[in-house]
Chain A
Amino acid sequence: MDNNHFPEAGQLIQSGKPVHFEGPLSTVPLLQKCFTPSDGFVEDSGALYDNMSIKQYLSFFAGLSGSKQQLDSAVEQMHLADILKKKISKCSDGEKVRLRIAREISKGAEDFFLVNPIAFADEESKKIILGWMETFYEKNGRLATLSVSHRDTCICPGGHYEILEEGIRCIDQPEVTDENPDLPVISKISVSYNEKTFLFNPEEIDYVEANDGKVYVYVRQEQYLGSYKMSELEEKLTKFGFFRCHRSYIVNMQKVTELVKWTRNSYSLRLIGYGKTDVPLSKGKIQELRGMYEF
């Protein structure tokens, strides 16, 4: 992707609501250009002094920027009060991201750009960070994130966009479908893997993901490339107990074990055999799901 697409990214970031991009890390410098040096930049790795405690690290940066009055607020927003004395080398990946965000808050930043903000397993940190992101609906500040993972992008509350070679595509936008009433009724789903074609019964499928212009079908933790469009699969699979939980995801409800509420606007589903892998659930779909399954 070249620089010419970034005015578009800049406009999205200026729009007022949090914006989440899915794309390669090579786009970080280009997205950074939409921000000024005084804005908060939260990198996805490094940049921490391992031998310092959380408190020492935050005080050090607050000392550099001369804005110590923001320090308490940063600690409160990132829920760090209980671990202030913890050595950074002993922090989990999630705590490290919270610390980096707190560092930028303590510098007095109002606008933020985060790279891979929830690419870790620590659930508590994920919840805190997603909750903080949601506050940007009511704040004046701008928030943009870049995630390599499609799943992480979709879980973040706000607008979701994919950075492609040809430009920026809205992930939340309804897809264009070719209506074809003459399609044969089938009960097998064809997928491919290593140039081989497999046919699965719908019940075997765990969930379906649309990413990067392709449709991926997950069966017993294996990823296969699907041959159908999402809308076609949704039509075929609904009668087998599947639910279109997100623009990019169709999930087999028989396999769902947990509904995770991250924030008011951010939910996900967990499936048998997929550990803590989250399948995003759109806010708009939650009522529909409640109606269907009466919970």
Chain B
Amino acid sequence: MNGKIIRTLFKKDLKSCLTNKTILLSVLIPVFFCLLYRFLFSGLGEGLEDFVLNACAVFAISIVPTSILPVMIAEEKEKYTLRSLMLARVSGGEFLFSKIAVCLLLTLADAAAVYFLSAGRPEDFLMYTAIILLSSAGLCFLGAIAGLTAKDQASAGTISAPLTLLAMLPPLFAGFNDTIGKIAVIFPTTSYQTLFTSASSDSSLTSGRNLAALAVCAVWIIGGAVLFNLFYRKKGVDC
């Protein structure tokens, strides 16, 4: 992979995301809900900020990698710009690396906005950022596979909608009953909640639950990378 090409692609992809109204709206969903929850539940008193942060960070981790990334990839296919990139000797790996990097940056920006709007403690921010990265990286591979599968932006939307729900809902409903709670553990979004709750309450990250959450993130990243690699080798970027 050529660093110069990735840098050029990254600049273009980031700028294109920031000027695309649909993508911007999707990025703003967690921020919007953060403001809405704070307004609606303002009378609930203590614990509100933690609840809002937990919920909205999960939105950020779920929405950007599983719904924006597929659309970004599919848009290039649909408009045949991917073909012109390939003819400009851009490799499929470079193309996807840049998209994933932009997606992670947007996730971090989204999560950071949510963090400060929910009055998160500044001293926990670095740990928060690290946990966000860890839990969203695996989902990026899933989003990239969805993007490779989709022929155009419309089909990318159709494919990504269930993925987004799959990533978003388990941690939100984990507390409803034990069964859902046990199933929710295998999702990286639940891992985020587990790890950040521990980190913000100054508990040890090496406890059993936290190690399990870290393992889940690792499995999603490694499994996602392997699956993505297999898929990419078989299908390519389909231009």
Q: Which residues of A contact B (CB under 8 A)?
A: 37-38, 41, 43, 45-51, 60-61, 63-66, 103, 107
**Given A65-B88, A107-B88 in contact, is the A48-B8 Cβ separation under 8 Å?**
no
> Is the Cβ of B16 less than 8 Å from the Cβ of A51?
yes
Which residues of B are found within 8 Å of A65, using beta-carbon distances?
88-89
> Is the Cβ of B88 less than 8 Å from the Cβ of A49?
no
Which of the residues B4, B5, B12, B79 comes within 8 Å of A48, measured between beta carbons?
Answer: B79
Which residues of B are found within 8 Å of A45, using beta-carbon distances?
80
> Is the Cβ of A47 less than 8 Å from the Cβ of B84?
yes
| Interface SS of A by simple majority | loop
**Given A51-B16, A64-B89 in contact, is the A43-B8 Cβ separation under 8 Å?**
no
Which residues of A are found within 8 Å of B88, using beta-carbon distances?
61, 64-65, 107
Provide a sorted-by-A list of 30 A–B residue pairs whose CB atoms are within 8 angstroms. A37-B89, A38-B89, A41-B87, A43-B83, A43-B84, A45-B80, A46-B79, A46-B80, A46-B81, A46-B83, A47-B79, A47-B80, A47-B84, A48-B79, A49-B12, A49-B16, A49-B81, A50-B79, A51-B16, A60-B8, A60-B12, A61-B84, A64-B9, A64-B85, A64-B88, A65-B88, A65-B89, A66-B4, A103-B84, A107-B88
**Given A47-B81, A47-B84, A48-B79 in contact, is the A63-B8 Cβ separation under 8 Å?**
yes
- Greatest chain A CB density within 10 A among B16, B83, B84, B90 is at B84
Which residues of A are found within 8 Å of B87, using beta-carbon distances?
37, 41
Whether B207 sits at the interface, judged by CB under 8 Å, is no
Whether B20 sits at the interface, judged by CB under 8 Å, is yes
What distance in Å separates the Cβ of B19 from its nearest Cβ neighbour in chain A? 5
A41 to B20: give the CA distance in the assembly, Å.
Answer: 28
Q: Which residues of B contact A (CB under 8 A)?
A: 4-5, 8-9, 12, 16, 19-20, 79-81, 83-85, 87-90
> Is the Cβ of B19 less than 8 Å from the Cβ of A51?
yes
A46 to B77: give the CA distance in the assembly, Å.
Answer: 10
Which residues of A are found within 8 Å of B4, using beta-carbon distances?
63, 66
What distance in Å separates the Cβ of A54 from its nearest Cβ neighbour in chain B? 15
Residue of A whose beta carbon sits closest to that of B85: A64
A211 to B19: give the CA distance in the assembly, Å.
Answer: 47
Which residues of A are found within 8 Å of B85, using beta-carbon distances?
64
Which of the residues B8, B16, B19 comes within 8 Å of A64, measured between beta carbons?
Answer: B8
Residue of A whose beta carbon sits closest to that of B20: A51
16 other contacts beyond A64-B90, A65-B89, with CB at 8 A cut-off? Answer: A37-B87, A37-B89, A43-B84, A46-B81, A46-B83, A47-B79, A47-B83, A48-B81, A49-B16, A50-B79, A60-B12, A61-B84, A64-B5, A64-B8, A64-B88, A103-B84
What distance in Å separates the Cβ of B49 from its nearest Cβ neighbour in chain A? 37
What distance in Å separates the Cβ of A194 from its nearest Cβ neighbour in chain B? 38
A126 to B55: give the CA distance in the assembly, Å.
Answer: 57
What distance in Å separates the Cβ of A63 from its nearest Cβ neighbour in chain B? 4
A50 to B81: give the CA distance in the assembly, Å.
Answer: 10
Which residues of B are found within 8 Å of A41, using beta-carbon distances?
87
Rank and list the top 5 A-B pairs by shortest CB-CB distance, nearest first. A46-B80, A47-B84, A63-B8, A47-B80, A64-B88
Residue of B whose beta carbon sits closest to that of A49: B81
A63 to B4: give the CA distance in the assembly, Å.
Answer: 8
What distance in Å separates the Cβ of A131 from its nearest Cβ neighbour in chain B? 24
Which residues of B are found within 8 Å of A43, using beta-carbon distances?
80, 83-84
